[in-house]
């Protein structure tokens, strides 16, 4: 079988425990030419790349990190399927390279014992050998190799030590049959159902005892010292809050500069298209549908890159496991795993990288529960909506004469999201995602300096996966939304002459735009008609059909509400949430019956709706990708929107009953 | 010292066994039994927590749970409920 287009038939699987230096070894063997995808039907990552072995090119497959091949988790199931040659689309490996952490030999060798039973030759790559030798331990590699009846090579991914020898050994064992080095007596039943595990460990203990000499050096000395601070009952939590603040601050504010630049860049491209191409449907589709749609996706890239930079650094240094250790008790109260905290915190900036970050949670149910509640965290796209509403109706008001009402409302919106998220997690974990509490059982690896190349590669991989997969769905939805607001045309599509104003929700920067017909077009478009259709439904929330149109448009992305309101109220769509013209236009807006369209209560109701509703097609696309099904994102959209409606209804009707608005 | 060479002995040292979760922090002990047949038990055994191995509780998380144990030279965090299956003597 042709693999990756290389003229090679050799397939090598790279397997090992988590934290065994497997990824670094993989990178050093394959270089930058790696391919990352998912195994079909699951979200287990499939990573492969070419590895040169004596002029031939083998396809090196990086198996997920695992402790055992006995298939208790999805990762283990996939790994053992691959080794057996039963994973569709993956040829049965000819050789397994086992990454074995020299500083943690016994547990790492356990997995190797299992590999021997698959009938595929194994070569052991002894990693972390530099750390091991620095601790003045000694290992007789020859002896270990003799005892295990399989080649053992000490490797150092940084210096390249052992890389040639590893290739040589792989070439040598090709097409041989491995010998299981230990004897297991199936008939001896005194050891019970776990007899095989005991036998494997007994064999390993003896082999290690004969080939390794341990110095008195305390392996955990440095890690213990660091842990005395980082997992301290008090300081540990203080530092954790500090780390989270830095992460949050970075994706929230540092990303805004590149995001603005991207937004402006796409605006410029869109303008360019508009100037260079003859006006017409095609130009409008390209400028406002496709370019704006793609731009709307790409704009999240800085946040995703930054978050994954942090996640890689935290994971690879060993801190992520500590953070989960510190927070597990709190998170387990609502039925979540300790590792759920980072995705949830990140979701305050944007749910998309947050949801992608849930991959660090192994248990599927825990992961899905975290994904389902992540969009309740008030993300940065809600800020323009909150800001517009507060600036229009609550600016300058205070409580007790000194507390700004706006600040209190803003805080209340964040709190509402968190409270609802906790409640939903609680319910989900007792209903659709009910499961016995998953084992926490998590290794706390020694602290290590992250390998920058691995970190960088991880970042790029995530970004690419996001662009590729989410991009296609988002693009399709953008075009649909564009069409909804563009058709049917109220005015004839222009063929000549000066530009006729365009009529879409997504921003264009067209100085020639005459604003009045835009709102006319919107009124006659499918979106406008939809606004009228849903008016009876949103009436009880205090919204008229115009707000309805803005709501429909904002299902593409929340911040679109602001530009859509600008179009509806004829102030031009380049207005932002702090623009005085837009603020006064909203304040003065009238319903068709001539009554004020907005009251402070309507504004509050809208804010509550925005806290809870699922109005972000990028999130839906990412949830589709991460859960590998359409039912989860649809369920999410349905229940969130239902919750939003009910909460908004209570707010509006309750407010009216109490005499507000 | 990595707890490598101390594996073989299976008889309890003092004869009295307690659940690992009751073991005082920092005290060296030896696993005498890992009870149960479920996936947690199996995972514990596969990670090398088998009768005869020496083990110690390193610390507790801020809210008393989970706990960190050291076994075969590595650190493992687990919830208290999961340590109940592990019996030790010291």
DSSP H helices in A341-451: 341-346, 351-357, 364-373, 383-393, 405-428
Q: What is the pLDDT of residue A43?
A: 63
Q: State the pLDDT at residue A76.
A: 84
| Whether residue A565 has pLDDT greater than 90 | no
- Whether B67 and chain A come into contact, CB under 8 Å, resolves to no
Q: Which residues of B touch A100 (CB under 8 A)?
A: none
Ranked by mean pLDDT, which of A74-78, A363-367, A519-523, A653-657 comes out on top?
Answer: A653-657
pLDDT, residue A322, reads 93
pLDDT in tens, B12-32: 455 688 999 889 999 999 999
The CA distances from residue A319 to A12, A30, A312, in Å, are 31, 27, 10
Share of chain A above pLDDT 90, in %: 32
Which chain B residues are closer than 8 Å to A216 by Cβ? 1
How many cross-chain Cβ pairs, A to B, lie less than 8 Å apart?
A: 129
CB contacts of A201 in chain B (<8 Å) are 7, 48, 50
> How far A440 CA sits from the closest chain B CA (Å)?
5
Q: Which chain A residues are Cβ-neighbours of B5 within 8 angstroms?
A: 209, 214
Question: Is the pLDDT confidence value at A2 over 70?
Answer: no
Please say whether the beta carbons of A565 and A582 come within 8 A. yes
Dist CA A369 CA A372 (whole Å): 5
Q: Which of B1, B46, B52, B60 should one mutate to test binding to chain A, selecting the residue with the greatest count of A CBs within 10 A?
A: B46
Query: Residue A325: which of B72, B77, B82 has the nearest Cβ?
Result: B77
Please report, to the nearest 10 degrees, the dihedral formed by the alpha carbons of residues A535, A539, A542, A548 taken in order: -20
Residue range A80-118, pLDDT digits in tens = 999 989 988 889 999 999 999 999 999 999 999 999 988
Report pTM.
Answer: 0.78
Q: Is the ipTM of this complex over 0.95?
A: no
Q: For residue A508, what pLDDT band results from cuts at 50, 70 and 90?
A: very low
Phi, psi of A615 (to 5 degrees): -120, 70
Q: Which residues contact A637 (CB under 8 A, 6 or more apart)?
A: A614, A620
Per-residue pLDDT at B14: 57
Of all residues in chain A, what percent are helix, strand and coil, respectively (each to 5)?
60, 10, 30
Cβ distance A321 to B77 less than 8 Å, yes or no, reads yes
Cβ neighbors of A381 (< 8 A, separation 6 or more) are A350, A557, A558, A559, A616
In a 3-state reduction of DSSP, which class is residue A14?
strand
pLDDT digits (tens, 9 = 90+) for A455-500: 888 788 778 877 775 566 667 767 777 888 888 876 555 544 444 4
pLDDT averaged over chain A? Answer: 83
The pair of structure tokens assigned to A174 is 């090709």
Residue A171's pLDDT band (cuts 50, 70, 90): very high
pLDDT beyond 60 at A143:
yes
Predicted local confidence at residue A356, as pLDDT: 85
Is the pLDDT at A511 greater than 60? The verdict is no
Q: Please tell me which of the candidates B1, B58, B76 has its beta carbon nearest to residue A443.
A: B76
- According to the model, what pLDDT value does residue A252 have? 64
Rounded Cα–Cα distance for residues A567 and A569 (Å): 5
User: Tens digits of per-residue pLDDT, A315-347?
Assistant: 889 898 899 899 888 888 888 888 888 788 878
Q: What is the pLDDT of residue A3?
A: 41
Asked if the model's pLDDT at residue B57 lies above 50, the reply is yes
Residue B8 has pLDDT above 80, yes or no: no
Taking CB atoms and an 8 Å cutoff, what residues of chain B touch A237? 62
Element (H, E) at A471: helix A471-486
Of the candidates A198, A188, A178, A23, which has an alpha carbon nearest to the alpha carbon of residue A110?
A198
Question: Considering CB atoms only, which of B66, B74, B76 is closest to A328?
Answer: B66
Task: Pull the structure tokens for residue A33.
Answer: 């030419």
A404, with CB counted inside 10 A (0-12, 13-18, 19+), is middle
The β-bridge partners of B88 are: B18, B31
Task: Indicate the pLDDT class of residue A226, thresholds 50, 70 and 90.
Answer: very high
| Chain B CB contacts of A192 below 8 Å | none
Q: Residue A429: which of A369, A377, A370, A376 has the closest Cα? A: A369
**CB-CB under 8 Å, B1 with A214:** yes
- Span A574-580, mean pLDDT? 68
The whole-angstrom distance between residue A86's C-alpha and the CA centroid of its chain comes to: 29
Can you name the residues that pair with B89 across neighbouring β-strands?
Answer: B17, B30
- What confidence score (pLDDT) does residue A145 get? 94
A513 pLDDT exceeds 60? no
pLDDT of residue A516: 46
For residues A271-275, give the mean pLDDT.
Answer: 88
* Chain A residues lying within 8 Å of B43, measured CB to CB: 67-68, 72, 439, 441
- Interchain CB distance below 8 Å, A107 and B72: yes
**pLDDT confidence band for A517 (50 / 70 / 90):** low
- Encode burial over B41-75: b for 16+ CB neighbours within 10 A, e otherwise: bbbbbbbbbbbbbbbbbbbbbbeebbbbbbbbbbb
Whether residue A332 and residue B79 make contact (CB cut-off 8 A), yes or no, is yes
Percent of chain B topping pLDDT 70: 83
Q: Does B25 touch chain A (CB under 8 A)?
A: no
Question: What would the DSSP string read from start to end of A520-567?
Answer: HHHHHSHHHHHHHHHHHHHGGGT--HHHHHHHHHHTTBTTHHHHHHHH
Beta strands per DSSP E along A262-374: none
Q: Tell the residue number behind the tokens 């077009």, with chain if given.
A: A521
Share of chain A above pLDDT 70, in %: 88
The distance of A67 to chain B (nearest Cα, Å) reads 7
Please say if the pLDDT value at position B36 is more than 60. yes
């Amino acid at each position: 079988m042709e693999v990756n287009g290389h003229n090679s038939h050799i397939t090598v699987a790279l397997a090992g425990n988590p934290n065994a230096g497997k990824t670094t070894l993989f990178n050093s063997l394959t270089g930058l030419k790696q391919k990352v995808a998912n195994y079909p039907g699951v979200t287990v990552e499939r990573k492969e790349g070419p590895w040169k072995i004596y002029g031939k090119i083998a396809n090196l497959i990086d198996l997920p990190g695992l402790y055992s091949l006995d298939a208790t988790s999805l990762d283990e199931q996939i790994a053992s399927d691959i080794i057996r040659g039963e994973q569709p689309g993956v040829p049965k490996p000819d050789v397994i390279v086992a990454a074995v952490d020299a500083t943690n030999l016994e547990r790492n060798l356990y997995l190797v014992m299992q590999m021997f039973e698959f009938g595929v030759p194994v070569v052991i790559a002894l990693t972390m050998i530099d750390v091991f030798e620095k601790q003045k331990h000694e290992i007789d590699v020859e002896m270990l190799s003799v005892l295990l009846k399989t080649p053992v090579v000490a490797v150092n991914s940084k210096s390249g030590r052992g890389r040639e020898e590893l290739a040589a050994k792989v070439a040598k064992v090709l097409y041989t049959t491995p010998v299981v080095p230990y004897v297991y007596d199936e008939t001896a039943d005194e050891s019970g159902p776990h007899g095989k595990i005991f036998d494997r460990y007994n064999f390993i203990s003896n082999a290690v005892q004969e080939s390794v000499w341990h110095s008195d050096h305390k392996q955990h000395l440095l890690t213990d010292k660091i842990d005395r601070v980082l997992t301290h009952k008090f300081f540990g939590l203080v530092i954790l809050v500090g780390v989270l603040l830095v992460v949050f601050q970075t994706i929230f504010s540092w990303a805004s500069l590149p995001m603005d630049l991207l937004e402006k860049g796409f605006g410029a491209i869109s303008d360019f298209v508009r100037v260079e191409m003859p006006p017409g449907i095609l130009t409008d589709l390209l400028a406002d549908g496709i370019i704006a749609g793609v731009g709307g996706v790409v704009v999240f890239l800085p946040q995703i890159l930054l978050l994954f930079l942090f996640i890689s650094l935290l994971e690879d240094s060993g801190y992520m496991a500590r953070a989960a250790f510190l927070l597990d008790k709190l998170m387990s109260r609502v039925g979540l795993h300790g590792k759920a905290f980072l995705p949830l915190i990140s979701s305050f900036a944007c749910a998309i990288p947050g949801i992608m970050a849930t991959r660090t949670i192994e248990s599927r149910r825990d992961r899905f529960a975290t994904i389902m509640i992540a969009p309740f965290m008030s993300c940065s796209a809600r800020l323009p909506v909150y800001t517009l509403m507060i600036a229009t109706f609550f600016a300058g008001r205070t409580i007790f004469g000194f507390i700004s009402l706006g600040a209190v409302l803003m805080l209340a919106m964040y709190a509402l999201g968190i409270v609802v998220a906790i409640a939903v997690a609680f319910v989900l974990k007792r209903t659709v995602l009910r499961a016995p509490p998953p084992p926490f059982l998590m290794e706390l690896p020694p602290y290590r300096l992250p390998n920058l190349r691995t970190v960088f590669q991880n970042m790029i991989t995530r970004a690419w996966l996001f662009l590729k997969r989410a991009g296609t769905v988002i693009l399709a939805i953008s075009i649909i939304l564009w069409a909804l607001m563009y058709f049917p045309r109220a005015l004839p599509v222009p063929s000549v002459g000066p530009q006729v104003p365009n009529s879409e929700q997504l921003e264009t920067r067209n100085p020639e735009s005459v604003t009045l017909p835009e709102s006319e077009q919107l009124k006659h478009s499918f979106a406008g008609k939809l606004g009228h259709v849903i008016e009876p439904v949103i009436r009880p929330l205090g919204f008229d059909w115009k707000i309805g149109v803005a709501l429909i448009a904002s299902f593409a992305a929340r911040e679109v509400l602001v530009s859509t309101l600008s179009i509806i109220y004829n102030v031009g769509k380049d207005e932002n949430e702090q623009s005085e013209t837009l603020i006064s236009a909203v304040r003065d807006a009238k319903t068709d019956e001539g009554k004020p369209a907005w009251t402070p209560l309507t504004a509050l109701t809208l804010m509550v709706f925005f806290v809870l509703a699922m109005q972000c097609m990028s999130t839906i696309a990412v949830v589709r990708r991460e859960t590998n099904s359409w039912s989860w994102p649809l369920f999410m959209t349905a229940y969130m929107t239902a919750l939003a409606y009910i909460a908004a209804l209570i707010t509006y009707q309750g407010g009216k009953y109490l005499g507000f608005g | 010292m990595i707890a490598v060479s101390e594996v073989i002995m299976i008889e309890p040292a003092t004869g009295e066994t307690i659940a690992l979760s009751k073991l005082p922090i920092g005290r060296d002990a030896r696993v005498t039994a890992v009870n149960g047949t479920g996936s947690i038990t199996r995972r514990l055994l596969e990670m090398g927590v088998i009768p005869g191995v020496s083990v110690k509780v390193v610390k507790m998380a801020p809210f008393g749970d989970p706990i960190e144990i050291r076994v075969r030279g590595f650190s493992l965090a687990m919830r208290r409920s999961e340590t109940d299956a592990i019996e030790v003597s010291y």
